[in-house]
Amino acid sequence: MIVVLQRVSEASVKIDGEFKAEIGIGLMILIGIEEADGEEDIIWLANKILNLRIFPDENGVMNKSLIDVDGEILLISQFTLQASTKKGNRPSYIKAAKPDIAIPLYNQMIQVLEKDLGKQIGTGEFGADMKVALVNDGPVTILIDSKNRI
């Protein structure tokens, strides 16, 4: 499971021209799920996301977590994060999980984040053509791969 998280001052997602979700200060997260992912990846990533100290403290040092700043989350599924570009010029998505695997894992990630954060998070819609807008604060952008946790 791969996530790209961006510290934002605001973010939103539109589907068919309608706002699906909007957040203020927090994290806009793109998540790519592969066939080999499971519950252990979700638990590990959720803990990392919520406790990663990337928000500024009173001295401007990145020393606070999303929980510390009472931030929000916008979680967007993005299978293209699983692209392989090793061969040729057309990305291969062979590692990307099919919807029957990816949707339940995406929904489980939503549930875990909401439970651990203590509030509802914003989401996109799995498989939809989405328009995502954000103001990257910092900018701070971090890539986390659950397969590189050991």
Q: Which positions are annotated as active-site residues? A: 78-80
Query: For residues 6 and 8, what is the distance between their CA atoms, to the nearest angstrom?
Result: 6
Query: For residues 77 and 55, what is the distance between their CA atoms, to the nearest angstrom?
Result: 24
Query: For residues 126 and 147, what is the distance between their CA atoms, to the nearest angstrom?
Result: 22
Query: For residues 132 and 12, what is the distance between their CA atoms, to the nearest angstrom?
Result: 6
Coil vs helix vs strand at 71 = coil
For 140, other C-beta atoms within 10 Å of its C-beta total 16
- For residue 2, give every residue at least 6 positions away whose Cβ sits within 8 Å of its Cβ, in sequence order, or none: 31, 32, 34, 81, 82, 143, 144, 145, 146
